[in-house]
Amino acid sequence: MAILIGADSRVICQGMTGHAGSYHTQRMLAYGTRMVAGVTPGKGGRRALDLPVFDTVRDAMAATAANATIIFVPPANAARAMIEAIEAEMPLAVCVTERVPVLDMVRVRDALQGSRTTLVGPNSQGILTPGAAQVGVMTTMNARPGGIGIASRSASLTSEVVAQLTAAGLGQSTTVGVGGDPVHGIDLKTCLEMFLADPDTKGIILIGEIGSTEEEEAALLATRLKPTKPVVALVVGSHAPEERRMGHAGAFVGGGRGGTAAKIEALRSAGIHIAPNASLVGETMRRALG
């Protein structure tokens, strides 16, 4: 098993006829993901990459029984694409678009309330279940099937940790990039809860960074649930200056909040193993597994 995606996922791509959508759809197809259609308004009835193209998500779902979408739509229209997927009751939507306006994401968040859609992103590298499906833009070179679940706020660190785990003989169940924007869909806490409920996930890695309260919320969940699976966390940005955004829009320490020290202390107090630095995450998990 895995979480969110698997070999049976049927995926459409919103924006598939664009350059980025076309390129990454080909990569996902090559990996073995069941890509079933594309969606581009005004291009319905055509074919691209030997897949049918539809005008709307609802039409694509009706024709293909799709249960997931990946969104390659420019920032100005990305919120509209996410809301379209939500209103069509698409079970899973993954948005990789960066720099979606925050006020647009507030509208998306409102649309998600009470909906049937799980949103990953925006500003996410996507989801990877090694050997089964890739719904995202991440490298798959070092990924191997196994029992370690990863939820991450950082795309580049995810690739590093996956390589460390594989080198240590530890494959991955699913890797989820929650996204680096201040307002987004699924968070570290929700991923942690999903991994704890997945019988084939034997260990969990949380990759955090400065900004937001996601790590603290995950720590509160761990305190309440008292996981029997080992959980390892890495929180980066300890030397970041205050009041300055560091890469991601959500990576920001301000007003005395969002720093690494409080996050690490909350996670450690919840019984979570803390990796001392980015190069030792795989080794920390190997030791935690015992």
Cα dihedral sign for 61, 64, 67, 70? negative
Contact 236, 208 (CB under 8 A): yes
Contacts of 104 (CB under 8 A, 6+ apart): 78, 79
> How would you classify residue 160: left for phi > 0, otherwise alpha for psi between -120 and 50, otherwise beta?
alpha
Which of 24, 184, 239, 248 does the annotation list as catalytic? 248
Cα separation, 271 vs 226, whole angstroms:
8
Coil vs helix vs strand at 174: strand
Determine whether 19 is an active site residue. no
Integer angstrom CA distances of residue 218 from 81, 98, 149? 29, 24, 15
Which residue stretches of the chain are H helix?
Answer: 19-31, 57-64, 75-87, 102-112, 155-167, 188-197, 214-225, 260-269, 281-289
Q: Look at the block and give the residue holding tokens 């390589």.
A: 163
Q: Is the peptide bond before 122 cis (omega within 30 degrees of 0)?
A: yes
Residue type, 121: G
Sign of CA dihedral 162, 166, 172, 174: positive
Q: How far apart are CA 194 and CA 288, in angstroms?
A: 20
Q: Which residues does the annotation mark as catalytic?
A: 248
